[in-house]
Structure 1
Amino acid sequence: MEGIARVLESKNGEDANAFWRSTAKQILIQLSESGIAPGLAEQEVGTLLHAVLGDMAARSAAKFAQ
């Protein structure tokens, strides 16, 4: 998750969107191939997105605090 957050932080606009869409698609494929139901897989990717955004926000706040 932290790796995804770091890559997203290095990108802007459409590049960031394209990276996230590609990453989410890859994860959904992996989960599907592991036998995870599509709805549950989508929930997991959504949970990951919230965790990534939270990690990015926490690092951003830490930079401001310095």
Structure 2
Amino acid sequence: MDLFTSTGYPLLQGLDCIKDSINNAIAEKAIDIAKEGVIKGESLAENLEKIDYFGPIFLQMISIRE
């Protein structure tokens, strides 16, 4: 994800790109839910954590980069 943000690539477009590149319905739904939260001004990491799909290390890395 840092690749997207460090190049100035918009987060929401980055989430769409990631979603389009994976082949996992659960992860795609998780990204959709997280994206909705980001649009509302909420934290990406907190929204991903609510879904209880991604591991704690991944969530911590996302949280640190936010």
The answer, yes or no, to whether TM exceeds 0.5 is no
TM range (shorter): 0.3 to 0.5
Bigger RCO (CA 8 Å, 6+ sep) = 1
Q: Which has the higher helix share?
A: 1
What is the TM-score with the length of structure 1 in the denominator? 0.38
